Amino acid sequence: MKQFEHSQVVQELCAITYDMWRNGWDEYNGGNVSYLLSEDEVGELQEAAPRVKVEVEAIPESLVGRYLLITASGSHFRTLKDHVKRDTGVVRIVTNGYEVLWGFEENRKPTSEFYMHILAHAKRLSINPHHRVVVHNHATNIVLYSLLNEVTSRSLTLDLWSVLTESIVVFPDGIAVLPWEVPGTHQIGLDTAEELAEHRIVVWAKHGVLSTGVDYQDCFGLIETADKAAKLALDLQRISGKPIAENNVLSKDNLRAVCQALKVKGKYLGE
Cβ neighbours of 1 (radius 10 Å):
14
What's the CA gap between 185 and 166, in Å, rounded?
A: 34
Q: Considering the entire predicted model, what is its pTM? A: 0.95
What's the CA gap between 142 and 101, in Å, rounded?
A: 36
113 is annotated as an active-site residue = yes
pLDDT 10s digits, 8-64 = 999 999 999 999 999 999 999 999 999 999 999 999 898 888 889 999 999 999 999
> Three-state DSSP class for 56?
coil
Tens-level pLDDT at each residue, the chain (271 residues): 458 999 999 999 999 999 999 999 999 999 999 999 999 999 989 888 888 999 999 999 999 999 999 999 999 999 999 999 999 999 999 999 999 999 999 999 999 999 999 999 999 999 999 999 999 999 999 999 999 999 999 999 999 999 999 999 999 999 999 999 999 999 999 999 999 999 999 999 999 999 999 999 999 999 999 999 999 999 999 999 999 999 999 999 999 999 999 999 999 997 6
DSSP 102-155: EE-TTT--B-TTHHHHHHHHHHHHHH-TT--EEEEE--HHHHHHHHHS---HHH
Distance set, CA 219 to CA 16, 17, 171 (Å): 10, 12, 11
What's the CA gap between 182 and 157, in Å, rounded?
A: 23
**Of 76, 263, 242, 36, nearest in space to 159 by CA:** 242
- Beta bridge partners, 36, equal 68
Helix %, strand %, coil % of the chain (to 5): 45, 20, 35
Domains of the chain plus CATH, in order, are: 1-112 (3.40.225.10), 129-271 (3.40.225.10)
* CB within 8 Å of 39: residues ≥ 6 apart: 46
What's the CA gap between 37 and 132, in Å, rounded?
A: 8
The dihedral region occupied by 103, where left means phi > 0, alpha psi between -120 and 50, and beta the remainder, is left
In the chain, the DSSP E strands lie at 32-37, 52-55, 67-71, 88-94, 97-103, 133-137, 175-178, 201-204, 208-213
Q: Do 118 and 194 meet the contact criterion of CB atoms below 8 Å apart?
A: no
* CB within 8 Å of 4: residues ≥ 6 apart: 10, 43, 44, 45, 90, 102
Catalytic choice (113, 166, 181, 224) = 113
